[in-house]
Amino acid sequence: MKKTVLITGTSSGIGKATVFEFAKMGWNVVATQRNPDKETDFNGLSNVKMYALDVTSLDSIKQAMNAAQKEFGKIDVVVNNAGYGVDGVFEAMSDKIIENQFNTNVFGLMRVTREAIKLMRPNGGGTIIQISSMGGKITFPLYSIYHATKFAVEGFTESLHYELNQFNIKMKLIEPGPIVTDFYGRSRQIIKSTETNQYDGFIQKFNDAAAKVMKDAEGPDVVAKSIYKAATDNSNQMRYAVGKPGPMLLILRKLLSDKLYFSMVKKSYNL
């Protein structure tokens, strides 16, 4: 019997690549988006079913997940991919900007996770895969709010796995490094101060260094393969670092003192 995976945020980037990866491997794929009527890339895939799902709406989540389970009988894996990145000057960020970032990246992920548990527990288990980031374990300049959401995802998932172990529900964390996706393009929300120009030199140094990093960044397919591995390796491994130089930086963060790590980051960005 074919297994079924439900993936959030499949309109581009990692989410879209993950749909193709699971479909290629013969799974039933529930590809969810806020506006699935606009999606055409999955039209030729007979084992991909589109559903509308907005992670900021609990009703939307329940409707999509219940419909998917009714369609396929069982959801074996849920991939919490929907999210976006806010970066820029914290002083200039309004409460609304901060709330929206947390509502999608943290509370939306929690909503989907809770509904997935309700479906998986009576069915004898499953796997919930959270798309975190190397930014859930290490930090860089100007991403304070984004880092806060990913640190929250890491702590939430690690704690949750203890109580779900008894139900054979596995929790997995994917920690990508820099990946060439819309995260750095149309999905990026940059916040700049309109009250002072004192941050301008800092921001320019950061952007210049970040552009160099992205020249060597890998594409979303490498993350999709890591997600598939996490879904199928039958291991108790929780964290999967992927996308150079992410895995190396995570190791360095463990080995280096705060002082040495902060110095390394400042040097990288000419700060």
Residue 130 near residue 18, CB atoms below 8 Å: no
24-31: long-range contacts, CB 8 A cutoff, minimum separation 24: 25/228, 26/2, 27/2, 27/3, 28/2, 28/3, 28/4, 28/72, 29/4, 29/5, 30/4, 30/5, 30/6, 30/64, 30/68, 30/71, 30/72, 30/75, 31/7
What is the token pair recorded at 198? 């004192």
| Catalytic residue (one of 132, 133, 170, 228) | 132
Residue 169 near residue 127, CB atoms below 8 Å: yes
Phi, psi of 130 (to 5 degrees): -95, 130
Q: Is 132 noted as a catalytic residue in this protein? A: yes
| Catalytic residue (one of 11, 51, 133, 146) | 146
| Catalytic residue (one of 150, 172, 226, 240) | 150
Helix (H) or strand (E) holding 257: none
Residue 209 near residue 268, CB atoms below 8 Å: yes
Q: Is 150 noted as a catalytic residue in this protein? A: yes
Q: Is 172 noted as a catalytic residue in this protein? A: no
What is the token pair recorded at 141? 């300049």
- Active site amino acids: 132, 146, 150
